[in-house]
Structure 1
Amino acid sequence: MRTIDHWLTSPWRRSAAAALAGALPVLAFPAPSLWWCAYVALVPWILLARSAPTGRRAVYDGWWGGIGFLMAVHHWLLPSLHVFIFLIAALLGLLWAPWGWLVRRFLGGVPSPGRAAAALLVLPSAWLAVELVRSWQGLGGPWGMLGASQWQVDPALRLASVGGVWLLSFLVVAVNVAVALLLAVRASRVPAVASLAATAVAASAAWVWAPRPEADGRVRIAVVQPGIVAGQDSPGRRFDREEQLTRPLAGRNVDLVVWGESGVGFDLDDRPDLARRLAALSRETGADVLVNVDARRSDRPGIYKSSVLIGPHGRTGDRYDKMRLVPFGEYIPARSLLGWATSVGRAAGEDRHRGAAQTVMNVGHGLRVGPLICFETAFPDMSRRLAGNGADVLLGQSSTSSFQGSWAPEQHASLAALRAAETGRPMVHSTLTGVSAVYGPDGRRLGPWLGTDASTAHVYDVPLAHGVTPYVRYGDWPVHGALLVLAALCVTEGVRALRLRRSGPEPIGPPARTVHGSPARPSR
């Protein structure tokens, strides 16, 4: 142990160790999908920040751990953003700097039972605050939320229906804090064990109490995935392939056909021939066709990504324009300052335009569907709003063709399981090149995943449910609770600081360690 402590006295070694520790949770996400790893993956990072010789060093531990976490979760963006991804990770990693300080503040030295018990509430709350801030669309959105790693765990999906992915993140962090206490602080093992027991009891209670979605109908939805098409940059060839795959669906009693994002590369008002071909497909299959148009609009300036519903007589009038765009991928924030990003990666050469409001579309047979486009399936609030507005099925149209062979397609497909479980509505995730997937109203997978090597159309029997989950009814209450905890902490710390000014300072956290009999220099 002393050898490790001596090795970590080097600031750069310690920073590298923090970055490596921060990267460990990526193993819980697809493709590795070691979901159980999430419950211990933060422990090395927590133990490192806890042992920081100074509060300043703990801040650095939090920052470098955040950099490692972001680089690991978003490593597949490296071919697109090149060196720019390191700058983004360094800036967003700062969000974890206060978290590192709080780890040392509550767990440093030999924490009292009261301080250890408070840590089990404060540290998960602080983590949720970080996820809340970085969930803002302009900062990259809620990709890689810790709770999303539990997308294939049935009890976790039940909890998601109660408090969304936020509740899962809170509980996962709380378990990690308790495990760290069990390993490092013998005097705090009682509150640690109590916390683990309370988490188990709360999860079990939610399992019993949360209403289960009861199927009250069924629809047949076809997903068309063209895969990699020769001359992939040619939207005409891609359209031809999708048309070829859609036509054999005739006679299969399909209620809706869904194409992936950017499946149509032309404005349908400018290309009435394509609109007629789509209407003919609708007549042949006996189902409406939901396509996704990525093109310059003829009725307004700019390029939009839009979900467009086509019936047997052409466009039904239902259209949804994508509202939340991918930073750098679909627009460049502050282009006048950051436009140079186009010269070092595959950043957007021209900004897409945003839609104004979400839309629930009426399909034949009384079916109401809520479309989301690619990046938007990562946002819990958007699917929750669609469910509240009466959508029977959530539909995600996506394209991850730029990231074939990476972990991105599977990570993206897994998010739909959380959105289905949160809302109690089935969700269809349809992509151009995989992975496409469909989930029932309880978040469980229906039928096969269509992998990145598939070029096919597959019909899914999708059960419908219309109950209201606690998450749809009460919203992001775990986030609100976390913010209240942090607000109470700020008030308590403020009062404590005033008392210290009057009575004189007292040490915070563990005393400074010594190296070879002399005080250790503060690490930077």
Structure 2
Amino acid sequence: MRMIDRWLTSPWPRSGAAALAGALPVLAFPAPSLWWFAYVALGPWLLLARTAPTGRRAAYDGWCGGFGFLVAVHHWLLPSLHMFIFLIAVLLGALWAPWGWLVRRLLGGTPSPGRAAAALLVLPSAWLGVELVRSWQGLGGPWGMLGASQWQVGPALRLASVGGVWLLSFLVVAVNVAAAVLVSVRAARLPAVASLVATAAAASAAWSWAPRPEVDGRVRVAVVQPGVVAGQDSGEKRFDREERLTRRLAGQDVDLVVWGESSVGFDLDDRPDLARRIAALARRTGADVLVNVDARRSDRPGIYKSSVLVGPDGLTGDRYDKMRLVPFGEYIPARSVLGWVTSVGRAAGEDRRRGSGQTVMKVGHGLRIGPLVCFETAFPDMSRHLAENGADLLLGQSSTSSFQHSWAPEQHASLAALRAAETGRPMVHATLTGVSAVYGPEGQRLGPWLGTGADAARVYDVPLAHGVTPYVRYGDWPMPAALLVLAVLCVTEWARALRLRRSGPAPLVRPVRTVRESPVRPGR
């Protein structure tokens, strides 16, 4: 025991322990998908930070844990970014430094029940603050948000319809904090138990109050996944395989056919022959075909990734250009400064161009679809806006072919369950090489996934539901609520510091008693 204590008081071993503790939550995400582990995974990290000898050391524990968390959740980027991923994790891991300091401030030593109770509200709010900052697209986007680990838990998905993935993250962190208090702070066990009971009661109330989507229709959607296509002219070969797979859908009463991201590598205005072949597929299957074009545009400069709808008569004119691009994968931030990364990884040789707005397309007999491209399915606000704009069905077109033998395809496919539950709209996640998946309006999985080893065209019977979920109506309300909690904390701490300053330091030297001299009598 003394050896462990001595080891944890040394800066470098302690930093390594913090990084390992921060990496533990990755086991709750796909592919392991140990969703239950998320509720205790932060425990070692919390216990380490609360025992830090100083506030600065607790901040380092938070920083190192954030580094470990980011490397673990994004480890599949290592073949693309090489050592650069560690630099990114070091920079973004600093976002958790204030969180580590707060852990020690509220739970360090022998905290009073009041401080422990405050921790159960403040620490989850601070975690949401970190997720808000790192969710900015320029910093990598909201990949690996802690609440996303609950994508296959029915009650959690129901809560997502109330407050989105933000609410799930808050609840997961709150349970972790309560568990850490129960284990380590005997004097504060009562508020910890009370907090767990209150959290369970509030979650149950929200679960029972949240309106369930009412199914009022069905559509048959086909996902075409061509699988890995290698060698020269892979764009032409992929198109041929997608065409062959789509022909098999004839006679299956399909309403819409969806191809994955970058399924067409040529601008269809420049290649009218390809547009005619897709239109022929639409006539053969009796359904519009949504493809994704990754090519240089003929009508404007630059390369775009675009969802393009093709009907029996050809291009319908409906087009959505991807708005949020993957940093380094599709563009390089500050290319004049960071352009050198193209020499050490698979960073974009040329920046893709951004679209200007989201689009809702009308398909067949009035079905309204809202397309998203790859990385965009990680952003809760984008699917929420599509639902607000009248989309009946959400569509994600993706390609994770660069990460075939990693956890990335499963992680990406799981995000669609959350977007469906948040909006009350079914979602189709169609990829080139897997994993493709379809979810109902409550986030429930519809049929088996198309894994990374599959090349197939599969038809899904998708229920449609309408109505407005609380999340769509009220938006990301857990986030401003968390920021309000942090603002109240800052005001309280400022008032406390001001009060201590006004009271002044305690005297360090005892006052000297004055000795009254006896009067000297004359004559003596």
Question: Segments of 4+ in structure 1 off by > 4 A?
Answer: none
1:412 aligns with 2:398: no
Q: Which runs of 5+ in 2 are unaligned?
A: 507-524
Partner residue of 1:15? 15
Once the two structures are TM-superposed, the CA of residue 499 in structure 1 deviates from its matched residue by 1.2
Give the match for residue 431 of structure 2. Answer: 431
CA RMSD of aligned residues (A): 0.9
Greater Cα shift, 194-203 or 47-56: 194-203
Residues 79-228 of structure 1 aligned to structure 2 (within 5 Å): 79-228=79-228
What is the alpha-carbon distance in structure 2 between the residues aligned to residue 135 and residue 505 of structure 1?
44
Tell me by how many angstroms 1:370 deviates: 0.1
Moved more, 488-497 or 368-377: 488-497
- Corresponding residue for 1:28? 28
Does 2:51 match 1:51?
Answer: yes
Deviations 1:308-362 (A, max 9, x none): 0000011111000000000000000000000000000000000000000000000
Give the drift of 1:297: 0.2
Q: Distance in 2 between matches of 1:194 and 1:397?
A: 45
Q: 2:491: which partner in 1?
A: 491
Indicate the larger mover: 3-12 or 104-113.
Answer: 3-12
- Evaluate the alpha carbon distance shift between residue 27 and residue 240 of structure 1 in structure 2; reply closer, same or farther with a 3 A threshold: same
Q: Which residue of 2 aligns with 1:395?
A: 395
The answer for the alignment partner of 1:510 in structure 2 is none
- C-alpha separation between the residues in 2 aligned to 1:68 and 1:291? 38
Q: Structure 1 residue 230: deviation in Å?
A: 3.6
Superposed, 1:318-333 pairs within 5 Å as 318-333=318-333
Q: CA deviation at 1:497?
A: 1.4
Corresponding letter in the other structure for 1:282: A
In structure 2, how many angstroms separate the alpha carbons of the residues matched to 1:51 and 1:504?
Answer: 29
CA distance in 2, matches of 1:74, 1:174: 24
Closer/same/farther in 2, CA of residues 313 and 60 from structure 1, 3 Å limit = same
| Other-structure match for 1:290 | 290
Q: Structure 2: which amino acid aligns with 1:385? A: H
Unaligned runs of 5+ in 1: 507-524
Taking the aligned partners of 2:51 and 2:341, their CA distance within structure 1 comes to 39
Query: Which residue does the alignment assign to 2:382?
Result: 382
3-state DSSP of counterpart to 2:269: coil
Conserved in 2, the CA contact under 8 Å of 1:147 and 1:172?
A: yes
Distance 1:234 1:153 in 2: 39
- Mapped to 1, the partners of 2:504 and 2:363 lie a distance apart of 70
- Measure the CA separation in 2 of the matches of 1:233 and 1:274: 15
Aligned partners of 2:97 and 2:136: how far apart in 1? 18
Q: Which structure ranks higher in relative contact order (CA pairs < 8 Å, sequence separation ≥ 6)?
A: 1
User: Shift of the alpha carbon at 1:3?
Assistant: 3.3
State whether residues 429 and 436 of structure 1, in contact with CA within 8 Å, keep that contact through their aligned partners in structure 2.
yes
1:448 & 1:498 partners in 2: Cα distance? 61
Displacement, 1:505?
A: 6.1
3-state SS of the aligned residue for 2:183?
Answer: helix
TM normalised by structure 2 equals 0.96
What is the SS of the residue equivalent to 1:306?
A: strand
Instruction: Tell me the SS of whatever aligns to 2:316.
Output: strand
Structure 1 Cα separation of the partners of residues 141 and 396 of structure 2: 16
Structure 1: how far apart are the matches of 2:138 and 2:469?
29
How far does residue 231 in structure 1 lie from its aligned partner after superposition? 2.2
Letter in 2 for 1:10: S
Number of matched pairs: 506
Report the TM-score when normalising by structure 1: 0.96
Q: Does structure 2 conserve the Cα–Cα contact (< 8 Å) formed by 1:232 and 1:238? A: no
Partner of 1:299: 299
Which residue in the other structure is 2:350 paired with? 350
Q: Which position in structure 1 is the counterpart of 2:308?
A: 308
CA offset at residue 233 of structure 1? Answer: 6.2
Matches of 2:440 and 2:505, distance apart in 1: 58
Q: Could you tell me how far 1:199 is from its partner in structure 2?
A: 1.1
Distance 1:2 1:188 in 2: 26
Shift of 1:467: 1.3
Q: 1:191 to 1:72 in 2, by over 3 A?
A: same
Rounded to whole Å, the distance in 1 between the matches of 2:144 and 2:71 is 11
User: What is aligned with 2:460?
Assistant: 460
Distance 2:351 2:504 in 1: 56
CA distance in 1, matches of 2:404, 2:396: 18
Partner of 1:521: none
Residues 445/413 of structure 1: CA separation in 2 closer, same or farther (3 Å cut): same
